[in-house]
Amino acid sequence: MNAITAKTDLDNIAETYRKAQEAAGRRVIVCAGTGCVANGSLEVAKAFEKQIAAAGLEVSTFLQTEPDHNTVQLSESGCQGFCQMGPLVTILPDNILYTQVKEEDVAEIVEKTLRNNETIQRLLYVEPGSEKTCERVDQVPFYTAQSRTVLAECGTIDPRSLPEYLAKGGYKAARKVFEGMTAKEVCGEIEEAGLRGRGGGGFPTGRKWELTRIQEKTPKYVICNGDEGDPGAFMDRSLMEGNPHAVLEGMMIAGHAVGATEGYVYVRLEYPLAVERIRQAVADAEEHGILGDQVFGTDKAFRIHIMEGAGAFVCGEETALMASIEGKRGMPSPKPPFPAQSGLSGCPTVINNVETLATVPLIIRDGAQAFRSVGVKTSPGTKTFALTGHVANTGLIEVPFGVSLATVVEEIGGGITDNNGALIDGSFKAVQIGGPSGGCLTQEHRDLPLDFDSLKNVGCMVGSGGLVVMNENTCMVSVARFFMQFTQNESCGKCVPCREGTRQMLALLDDIIEGRSTEDTIPTLERVARTVQQTSLCGLGKTAPSPVLSTLEHFHEEYQAHVDQKRCPAGQCKALTVPEIDPEACVGCTACVRKCPVDAISGEPKKPHQIDPELCIRCGACAEVCKFNAIKGI
């Protein structure tokens, strides 16, 4: 379908879809984000199809026929965010949210809710603590405290349906740009909006585009960086899976703004669903004349290629990513030259992350002023975060820049939990923000507004947007070690400070955790960390020591206890713990004696046992098997 008179045809498709949807009765949306799929949501969706048909209702997954009011539209959505309660099922128009839905619940939902308008109480979300039952999505505190803008459609629309994206006003921003705005105007609008890059440093997107636009060399490229590699971050994956057309639309606008006719989406290999969705979205867009040699029937071209990563965290760094697209080892190269001047294959290139690009159409659609009305002056708009760790509600969230840390952790997160997930009194010990490149925030930062500059002022960064909440039982040295292990594994090995420095920092942290440290260990660790931070070649190397430096700053006493007293205040470092059996609690059942792999436990039946700390290897097998919580210190 080329030479399409795109305007009217696309409008028609949107209008037809809208009408069909209005005509349909209810809509069942099954979350098919990766989290819910892992919990069996695809089986749930299949069961719906079968059961709805069995109940004599018509099922329509793509609304191709003219439906009557008996039709139930069944669709799968991208990530709805509340991953921990999945599989999630939303029923429109009543906006009922069923949580942890299993295959065997489906018949009941069809019978009661779809046929008889009854709500099934046991499948509703109950807020822990207040025990309040939430009937509708907009009563769930996890959602009410958020401000879902970029994620607004992600989790409701069918990511495989171009008509639905069009019906929601999709590609209108791109059309506005291609049909009536100059490249300079687009760059100006984005700069006016104050949009800053969501992937790391927060560089102003409009300025980046303008720098690329003014380059004379052609061709130029637009790259969407979907190589989201931080452990515990999945915002970009959710967007690519849940609303792929928004990402493509953002790329098209960027392409028009800088004068590029080709774009690449670089998706990490570990996101097969995102690859599939983007691939299909590109194919659909090409078929409808949205992408191709005559975009929207104009004489402008824009094509998008998809490149799958091959398993290297460092490829999230833009120069490494481009090396990878060029078929080389993903090793960063010095900047300058910046990609805007000399990027992919030496050509001017604009490279933005997924969320940034998905935000762009909203700015063009609603205008820079509307965008600026949310968030704070230097960080306008909203930001998605992946909220995980010791909080009641974990998942994907979106909040305006500038909300306080406490709001996120306590209101959206719903409070702090113990290691088993049970809500506890008290507050968080630390929140790690920005993954292995970020730092930690503590109680003193409770009221800190979460935005680019406030975080930078306390030595942290928004980074990719991972938020890991940690309770009082967390050992901060071990946390630093965990992230250092990650960066060390993922260092590309090119520059000396990162390659050798992360290795030695990891070894020094091991010394601290395993009781081999001396009074020189911490000063040496700090010295190496400073060198790596200041002198590494790329951004990943420069930020690799952040978890160490930040925990050293906020939890120096905890480090010192490990070194001076060979003691782990949180009781987590196995080598520093002294295992013992509580004689009050032990009933002498001998379960632990039989389980111990090294025969470190002795004692007669029915009498309290003893554990030999010298023989014990701290594997914890005894504690696992003990029904009386008598094993202490492991």
Partner 1 sequence: MAVKKFEDVCDILDRQGRNPARLIPVLQEVQKIYGYLPEEVLTFIATSLDLPPARVYGVATFYAHFTLEPKGRYVFRLCDGTACHVKGSSDILNALRDKLGLSEEQDTTSDKMFTVETVSCLGACGLAPVMTVNESVYGQVTPEKATEVIDEIVKNEEDNG
Partner 2 sequence: MNKEIENTLFVNGQTVEIADEPNLLEVIRKANIDLPTFCYHSELSLYGACRLCIVELEGKGVVASCSVQPEPGMEVRTHTAALREMRRTTLELLLANHPQACTTCAKNTQCKLQDLAQRFGIEDVVFNRPVKERPIDDSNPALVRDPNKCVLCGDCVRFCAEVQNVGAIDFANRGAQVTVTPAYNKGLGDVACVFCGQCAAVCPTGAITPNSAEQDVMAAIDDPETTVVAQLAPALRVALGEEFGYDPGTSVTWQMVAALKRLGFDKVYDTSFAADLTVIEEAGEFIERMDEGGERLPQFTSCCPAWIKTAEHFSPDLLPHLSSCRSPQQMFGSLARRTLPEQLNTTPEKLVVVSIMPCTAKKYEATREEFHQNGKPDVDHVLTTRELAGIIRGAGLRFQDLEPESFDLPLGFKSGAGVIFGNSGGVSEAVVRYAHEKVTGERSPEVDVHAVRGEEGVREAQISMGDRTVRMAVVHGLANAQRLTEQVRQGTCPYDFIEVMACPGGCIGGAGQPVSFDENIRQKRKAGLYAVDKGLQVHHPQDNPYVAASYRDAIGEIGGEEAHDMLHTTYKTRQRIAGQELSLANSEATGQQLEVDVCLGTSCFLKGSQDLLQALAKYINTNELGEHVEVKASFCHQKCGRGPVVKIGDKTFEHADFDTVRGTIDEVMQNS
Across the chain, how many H-helices and E-strands are there?
Answer: 26, 20
- The answer to whether residue 176 forms part of the interface with partner 2 (CB under 8 A) is no
Instruction: Based on the shown chain and the rule CB under 8 A, indicate whether residue 459 belongs to the binding site for partner 2.
Output: no
Partner from partner 1, partner 2, none contacting 88, C-beta within 5 to 8 A by type: none
Q: What is the DSSP letter of 27?
A: E
Give the separation between CA 597 and CA 81, rounded to whole angstroms: 42
Say whether 105 sits in a helix, a strand or coil.
helix
Comparing CB distances to partner 1, the nearer of 20 and 325 is 325
Pairing of strands 125-126, 133-134: antiparallel
Least distance to partner 2, CB of residue 347, Å? 17
Instruction: Single out the residue of 489, 565, 602, 629 in contact with partner 2 (rule: CB under 8 A).
Output: 489
The two structure tokens encoding residue 348: 């001017």
Whether residue 547 is preceded by a cis peptide bond, meaning omega within 30 degrees of 0, is no
Burial class (CB in 10 A: 0-12, 13-18, 19+), 598: exposed
Of 311 and 605, the one with the shorter C-beta distance to partner 1 is 311
Q: Which of residues 534-573 bind partner 2 (CB under 8 A)?
A: 534-537
Decide if residue 336 touches partner 2 (CB under 8 A).
yes
Asked whether position 531 contacts partner 2 by CB under 8 A, the answer is yes
Q: DSSP letters along 447-462, please?
A: T-B-SHHHHHHTT---
Q: List, as one string, the DSSP characters of 171-236.
A: THHHHHHHHH--HHHHHHHHHHHT-B-TTSS--BHHHHHHHHHT---S--EEEEEE---STT--HH
Based on CB atoms, which residue is closest to partner 1, 328 or 377?
A: 328
On the CB side of 600, how many CA atoms lie within 13 Å of its CA? 21
Q: How far apart are CA 41 and CA 34, in angstroms?
A: 9
Separation in Å, CA 295 to CA 174, 180, 281, 287: 10, 13, 15, 11
Contact criterion met (CB below 8 Å) for 358 and 152:
no
Query: Do the beta carbons of residue 304 and residue 265 sit within 8 Å?
Result: yes
The answer to the question of residue 494 lying near partner 2 (CB under 8 A) is: yes
* Residue 318 or 355 having the CB closest to partner 2: 318
Which of 303, 499, 567, 632 lies at the binding interface for partner 2 (CB under 8 A)?
Answer: 499
User: Which of 186/573 has CB closer to partner 1?
Assistant: 573
Piece of the chain touching partner 2 by CB under 8 A; list 114-122, 144-152, 276-284, 487-495: 487-495
| Smallest distance, partner 1 to C-beta of residue 344, A | 9
Q: Applying CB under 8 A, does 184 fall inside the site for partner 2? A: no
For β-strands 601-602 and 580-581, DSSP reports them as unpaired
Residue 87 Cβ vs partner 1, minimum distance, rounded to whole Å: 22
Among partner 1, partner 2, none, the one that 233 touches (CB under a kind-dependent 5 to 8 A) is none
Measured from the CB of residue 308, what is the shortest distance to partner 2 in angstroms? 18
Rounded Cα–Cα distance for residues 622 and 569 (Å): 22
Q: Site residues (CB under 8 A) for partner 1?
A: 269, 307-312, 324-331, 345, 492, 595, 597-598, 617, 619-621, 624-625
Nearer to partner 1, 269 or 423 (CB): 269
Is-contact 42 205, C-beta < 8 A? no
**Which of 223, 312, 323, 600 is in the footprint of partner 2 by CB under 8 A?**
312
Bond from prior residue into 163 cis (ω within 30 degrees of 0): no
Please state whether beta strands 466-470 and 439-442 pair in parallel, antiparallel, or not at all (unpaired).
unpaired
328 binds, among partner 1, partner 2, none (CB under 5 to 8 A by kind): partner 1
Among 1-9, 284-292, 406-414, 531-539, which window interacts with partner 2 (CB under 8 A)?
531-539
Inter-residue contact 294 to 178 (CB < 8 Å): no
Chosen from partner 2, partner 1, none, partner binding at 500 (C-beta under 5 to 8 Å by type): partner 2
Figure out which of the listed residues 18, 115, 172, 335 binds partner 2, where binding follows CB under 8 A.
335
Of residues 56 and 327, the one with the C-beta less far from partner 1:
327
Least spacing, CB of residue 403 vs partner 2, in Å: 31
* Cβ–Cβ under 8 Å, residues 498 and 544: yes
Backbone dihedral region for residue 350 (phi beyond 0: left; psi -120 to 50: alpha; all else: beta): beta
Shortest distance (Å) from residue 204 CB to partner 2: 18
- In the complex, the smallest distance separating the C-beta of residue 402 from partner 2, rounded to whole angstroms, is 28
Q: Find which of partner 2, partner 1, none residue 324 binds, CB within 5 to 8 Å per kind.
A: partner 1
Nearer to partner 2, 145 or 532 (CB): 532
Which helix (H) or strand (E) segment holds residue 305: the answer is strand 303-308
User: Taking CB within 5 to 8 Å according to partner kind, which of partner 1, partner 2, none is near residue 448?
Assistant: none
Using the contact rule CB under 8 A, the part of the chain among 133-141, 445-453, 533-541, 546-554 near partner 2 is 533-541
Residue 481 near partner 2 by CB under 8 A: no
Q: How many residues bind partner 2 (CB under 8 A)?
A: 33
Q: Which is nearer to partner 1, 144 or 489 (CB)?
A: 489
When CB distances are held under 5 to 8 angstroms depending on the partner's kind, the choice from partner 1, partner 2, none that residue 333 binds is: partner 2
Q: Which is nearer to partner 1, 412 or 593 (CB)?
A: 593
* Burial class of residue 136 in the structure, from the number of CB atoms within 10 Å of its CB (0-12 exposed, 13-18 middle, 19+ buried): middle
Please say whether the beta carbons of 103 and 43 come within 8 A: yes
The amino acid that residue 340 corresponds to is A
Kindly state the tokens that stand for 540: 């990943």
Is residue 345 part of the contact set for partner 2 (CB under 8 A)?
A: no
172 binds, among partner 2, partner 1, none (CB under 5 to 8 A by kind): none
**How far, in Å, CA of 560 to CA of 514, rounded?**
14
Q: Residue 503: name its binding partner from partner 1, partner 2, none (Cβ under 5 to 8 Å by kind).
A: partner 2
Shorter beta-carbon distance to partner 2: residue 365 or 499: 499
- As measured in angstroms, the least distance from the Cβ of 496 to partner 1 is 18
**Should residue 495 be labelled a site residue for partner 2 when binding is judged by CB under 8 A?**
yes
Toward partner 2, which CB reaches closer, 202 or 545?
545
Selection from partner 2, partner 1, none that 345 binds (CB < 5 to 8 A by kind) is: partner 1
Whether the link from the prior residue into 361 is cis, omega within 30° of 0, is: no
The answer to whether 94 and 48 are in contact (CB under 8 A) is: no
Q: Which is nearer to partner 2, 134 or 312 (CB)?
A: 312
Min dist. Cβ of residue 528 to partner 2 (A)? 6
| Residue labelled with tokens 């901060």 | 476
Q: Count the neighbouring beta carbons within 10 Å of the beta carbon of residue 138.
A: 10
Q: Which of 7, 456, 527, 594 binds partner 2 (CB under 8 A)?
A: 527
Residues that bind partner 2 (CB under 8 A): 312, 329, 331, 333-336, 488-497, 499-501, 503-504, 507, 520, 524, 527-528, 530-531, 534-537
